[in-house]
Structure 1
């Protein structure tokens, strides 16, 4: 394989030997695959998980508060507790907790006292805050201490403006890039709820350049981006071709774990009866899509419930929009062929199926659609893009590939919907920018060297351990990781 100017110019026996002026790297005995992508991240929030309290293992509100108590105690002993700064925790999953083990304001106040504490749910669709943080953030909380959906999105973004946050974030961003490269990742789609274009221009200028980045734009910032002359695919200045403007990211409905994904049938076991909620009216969604399509922006539309997916597919069809539907977690059978027909990719996060399989049983007891219809979408001709939605799941394509292929996290548990599992080749191709298993001459020199053939892996445990077999990662012809 001959690489010049960041691209692959030849792949042939003896090709490198005919170019004596090139530096040589002997990869004999290794496997080469295209560089891996995570097609749905919130990269700032994922970076923060490398330095903030992670509550993903908490199995009850009591356990979460024990973890918080220990974290606050450690910060105090290290002299890092400041009443003017937030203590932030992430990824609690109260949808899996018993009814008598749900969040309460009294519990978090008892642990945190006057120290502002803000905890974000695993799906990032709600927060659990104490009274001190509620006052500081300007949000109203009841007995649960929970802040819901749109109010939480706004409040959580304000945490990034707290004292000391910028210095902490710079360090964690570099750590997150290194962590990603060590897993073979060369690119991300970043849907952080922020002004992503200018943010990434600044990051590239500061030498944070270990990944290709497609920076998404939210609807509230779309008109400004249009006025500034941006379009999907435009190169970000100073990125040396690594950064580009991404799609317009629009969140149409809520999430399964907060019982707010918009469905055509009611949630099971919930009183009063609820079908979930839409974040925008169908007319607003269509209007935003029309503006995006008219001005050269792809769409990336979050839709989880089956009725939300029907609505966004209808809106995209009327607006002539192109791009992707993000999550597509529950789909009516009649809507599955529409992805290919409308030229819309299905941006899926297979690990969510593993995390949600018990929640589905609890709250989607009588669905009108198919949850996590990976194989059905593929068989219907839809282009699949795989990702993590980090920090909702870890930024780790091997975890996503494992979930998609085996349908279970470990060999001791039966697969979830085995009929929806993908073959390895499809899962790998859906995790690359080139959309295939192998590199070709003319591709960018984004590649991963492995000391094991991943196509022969036979268990989910082995597939999830594949990052240990990454020997090197190359981005645009330069090494970003070497073991």
Structure 2
């Protein structure tokens, strides 16, 4: 691997590690940072990058991605922002009119929990006719299909949307058909290239087909521009055990770009389908199963599958959105002495912030969701909204945060997540529960996979940006964020849209836009 020298870079202080006051040079050798200091000698280094005073920081990770779903969703009907079923049908009809040749039409992004009524198959039929149309909700926990799409995958006629497990099974059928009509691998390459252009150096892949199976074959076709930690689901644990894979092991011998990730368990539902499992009923309109949501498996079943994962050397990533689901997952972590993460940790019980910390678990959270979910939260969880996306409370309790997107639920763009966590708002909106905001430095540290300020010995997974991500004028007075002031709006845009000039993974260029 060729040595590389970055000259004249300002280091961004990350994770509380101080940075030099003046620009420095950074030598990369053998895939790691070999030296850091002013005016390093460039003798023998053929590849020299002039940073010209830009800011250098550790590469960014997305700790929760469904990359193939995200790649394909980028080219499907965008239903985000639709206000009711009629609005969705109008957008779908316009798409069908513009693309008459599509054999299976897929859309993504509606959020029905905020609607005054639920969608029906009949109204989608009226807008689509005989062409199969399948629409996925923005949280990926329910799907609205027309009659032709239901028939295509062998589903019986029904009145409304498919929810949770029924929807996941239907989605797998739809994806199998879509794969024969689309080019998912080409779409994945484009999506990961776009992620690298935003400074992403790694993702945790939670694709439903147990991603650990699929990545070795992809590597044969070419090196991805990001590191991959590929998760498994419970139905593949026997195969993981037979392969002798443990969390952190290379999926391909001698290759550190692809590693085995955790076991993923979806223990409850979501807020937008009113299936997140809560200690108290949804209010005022209620959810299913007595209005408190539901669990997808019993406490005993959760402990059993986590114990089995531990026996073969996998850590656990437990999807838990409602506070009862979080508490039950923490009980299971305690009983099984397992390590890992709570995925989402959207609503946490008051007593469970400290339990999360005491168990040494990571809260793998998706800050952009708070912008998407604020209206639904205020409708159904308004009596507990101070505990929703409670990043300040988690950090104050000593819980480590890992930021992600859950793409396609939110775009795979870590700067959007960082801005959402800091400002608790999008564009000119008023901040939502600003008491749970965290600082830019804390948000950045939650996005770098535990890596601190660039230093000798660190993996050369590095990002060069055109401006200082920590230089936010409105935060000199935290009260300025409470009124959506012009200064705060400018700072939100600064973080969300921060230009990335260079991304390196192991010293290899995966994105470059230097001028």
Report if TM-score (shorter chain) is over 0.5.
Answer: yes
Q: How does 1:432-443 map to 2 (within 5 A)?
A: 432-436=448-452, 438-443=453-458
Contact 1:204 1:238 in 2 (8 A): no
What secondary structure, in the 3-state scheme, does the structure 2 residue paired with 1:217 have?
A: strand
CA separation in 2, counterparts of 1:140 and 1:406? 46
For residues 394-405 of structure 1, the aligned pairs below 5 Å read 394-405=411-422
Shift of 1:264: 0.6
For residues 198 and 205 of structure 1, what CA distance do their matches in structure 2 show? 13
Residue 337 of structure 2, aligned match among 299, 314, 320: 320
Which residue of structure 2 aligns with residue 295 of structure 1? 312
Is 1:475 the equivalent of 2:505? yes
Contact residue 423 and residue 492 of structure 2 kept, 8 A: no
Match of 1:206 in 2: 221
- The farther-off stretch of 254-263 and 286-295 is 286-295
1:405 is paired with a residue of what secondary structure?
Answer: helix
Task: Provide the residue aligned with 1:236 in structure 2.
Answer: 251
- Out of 55, 63, 69, the residue aligned to residue 79 of structure 2 is 55
Contact 1:306 1:368 in 2 (8 A): no
Q: Determine if the alignment matches structure 1 residue 125 to structure 2 residue 141.
A: yes
Deviation (angstroms), 1:350: 0.8
Quote the Cα distance in structure 1 between the aligned partners of 2:372 and 2:407: 13
Shift of 1:207: 1.3
Please say if residues 181 and 481 of structure 1, whose CA atoms lie closer than 8 Å, have aligned partners that are also in contact: yes
Q: Find out whether 1:448 has 2:478 as its counterpart.
A: no
Alpha carbons 2:466, 2:498 under 8 Å: kept: no
Q: CA deviation at 1:354?
A: 1.2
Residue 160 of structure 1 deviates from its aligned partner by 2.2
How many angstroms apart in 2 are the aligned matches of 1:18 and 1:428? 31
| Within-5 A mapping of 1:212-231 | 212-231=227-246
The equivalent of 1:267 in structure 2 is 282
Cα distance in structure 2, aligned partners of 1:202 and 1:460: 45
**Equivalent pair of 1:300/1:324 in contact (CA under 8 Å):** yes
CA distance in structure 1 between the aligned counterparts of 2:466 and 2:274, rounded to whole angstroms: 43
CA distance in 2, matches of 1:373, 1:462: 22
Correspondence for 2:346 among 306, 329, 335? 329
Q: 2:366 corresponds to which residue?
A: 349
Tell me which of 67, 85, 88 is aligned to 1:64: 88
CA contact (8 A) 1:286 1:315 kept: yes
- Alpha-carbon distance in structure 2 between the residues aligned to 1:368 and 1:375: 13
Q: Does 1:425 align with 2:441?
A: yes
Query: Corresponding residue for 2:37?
Result: 12
Please, what TM-score do these two structures have when normalized by structure 2?
0.88
Partner of 2:110: 92
Matched residues, number: 471
- Structure 2 spans left out of the alignment, 5+ residues: 1-25, 475-487
Is the CA contact (8 Å cut-off) linking 2:422 and 2:440 kept in structure 1? Answer: yes
1:278 corresponds to 2:295: yes
What displacement does 1:138 show? 2.3
Cα gap change, 1:446 to 1:359, in 2 (>3 Å)? same
Q: Give distance in 1, aligned partners of 2:135 and 2:280.
A: 30
Distance 2:386 2:433 in 1: 13
CA contact (8 A) 2:467 2:498 kept: no
Q: Could you tell me how far apart the structure 1 residues matched to 2:324 and 2:316 are? A: 19
Q: Is the 8 A contact 2:415 2:498 kept in 1?
A: no
- Residue 28 of structure 2 aligns to a residue in which SS? strand
Distance (Å, rounded) in 2 between the aligned partners of 1:123 and 1:461: 29
Distance 1:239 1:115, change over 3 A: farther
* Alignment partner, residue 41 of structure 1: 65
Alpha-carbon distance in 1 for matches of 2:245, 2:73: 31
Structure 1: runs of 5+ lacking an equivalent: none
